[in-house]
Amino acid sequence: MILVLLLAAAIWFGGGWMNAPREARATFLGLLYIAVLGIQVAFPETNPLRVATGGSAAAWLILGGFIALFLIYRQVLVMLRSKALVAQTADSAPKSAAFSDTELNRYARHIILREVGGGGQRALKDASVLVVGAGGLGAPVLQYLAAAGVGTIGVIDDDKVENANLQRQVIHADADIGTPKVFSAQAHMEAQNPFVTVRPYHRRLTGDIAADLIGDYDLVLDGTDNFDTRYLVNAACVAAGKPLVSGALSQWEGQMSVFDPAKGAPCYQCIFPEAPSAHLAPSCAEAGVIGPLPGVVGSMMAVEAIKLITGAGTPARGQLLIYDALYGENRTIQIARRADCPTCGSA
């Protein structure tokens, strides 16, 4: 029996170390349990395999009963907490008007998701999100946040739409060339979903406004392509205790993480203490970027934002997600806070 328990521990903890999904590990444990139970029932009492796995089906049936009771108890707790959250949301003073029939129909695919539901969609409507940059990553982020029904979306960028942007910045159109990106994005977002409020800021994010601007929002998404702005956004988010979803691109590869020291996760500067030399981190204009890559990474950022707002799933705190489009590979690197980080070391 001890050997079986050791094998079960190896499957669960070894699989976790290899980043195997929880569902897959649970499936393997279930198969192991069924196999052991089958041995106890089918094999004679003196069979060495039956002796090595406990010698009796009774012990395994009792263990399975306890596990089943635990899982049922856990599921009941989850259901009660979910109902309590919905009740709390319903009882609290609403920040925004009730959903119209059009909105209910529009967000129906969200509402029927167990992890989102009506309470989660209400949270999206009441949320305010600031997106820094309306370029490659900002384009899909803004499109999907607006489509998801995030109530208030701020976007800050000082650039204008250029012809060379249109290969990847799909929120803008040919007719928008010469228009400030924030106003082009606003027009397309409001055309896509008139139930959201878009706040455009046609200016560069600087130190004199960062704290006040970020303080007005619940969550920040950074899709900029320069390290000065990334460090500035990170420092302001740490100071305000706001989670930061940050993404970056280079040629065929993109990366994304949720930086949230207030929840025990590292900040951006924990992972990137110093900006690399210019030749080691060339811009998209210098090194190029495959067109759909910003859509992939930006969509991942939007998903993380929705998870943070609704409380669904497990956000990518403490994880750096890397996508290699050239070879179709995904990697996840575990990351941790640094005690000596100048930004969040004492946060």
The C-alpha atoms of residue 317 and residue 201 are separated, in whole angstroms, by 28
**pLDDT(323) > 90:** yes
Q: How far apart are CA 40 and CA 51, in angstroms?
A: 9
Give the tens place of pLDDT for each residue, 101-153: 999 999 999 999 999 999 999 999 999 999 999 999 999 999 999 999 999 99
Q: 203 pLDDT exceeds 90? A: yes
Q: What is the mean pLDDT of residues 24-36?
A: 75
Does residue 314 register a pLDDT over 90? Answer: yes
In the chain, % of residues over pLDDT 90? 65
Query: Where residue 63 falls among pLDDT bands split at 50, 70, 90?
Result: confident
- The answer to whether residue 249 scores a pLDDT higher than 50 is yes
The pLDDT assigned to 50 comes to 67
pLDDT at residue 93 is higher than 50: no
What's the rounded Cα separation, in Å, for the pair 185 and 176? 9
Mean pLDDT confidence for 31-59: 74
Mean pLDDT of 177-183: 97
Q: Which residue has the higher pLDDT, 30 or 241?
A: 241
Q: Name all domains of the chain by residue range, CATH numbers in brackets.
A: 2-91 (no CATH), 101-334 (3.40.50.720)
Q: What is the pLDDT of residue 107?
A: 96
Query: Rounded mean pLDDT of 32-39?
Result: 75
pLDDT at 82: 56
Q: Is the pLDDT of residue 94 over 50?
A: no
- HEC assignment per residue over the chain: CHHHHHHHHHHHHHHHHCCCCHHHHHHHHHHHHHHHHHHHHHCCCCCHHHHHCCCCHHHHHHHHHHHHHHHHHHHHHHHHHHHHHHHHHHHCCCCCCCCCHHHHHHCHHHHCCCCCHHHHHHHHHHCEEEEECCCCCHHHHHHHHHHHCCCEEEEECCCECCHHHHHCCCCCCHHHCCCEHHHHHHHHHHHHCCCCEEEEECCCCCHHHHHHHHHCCCEEEECCCCHHHHHHHHHHHHHHCCCEEEEEEEECEEEEEEECHHHCCCCHHHHCCCCCCCCCCCCHHHHCECCCHHHHHHHHHHHHHHHHHHCCCCCCECEEEEEECCCCEEEEEECCCCCCCCCCCCC
Please state the rounded mean pLDDT for residues 5-25: 70
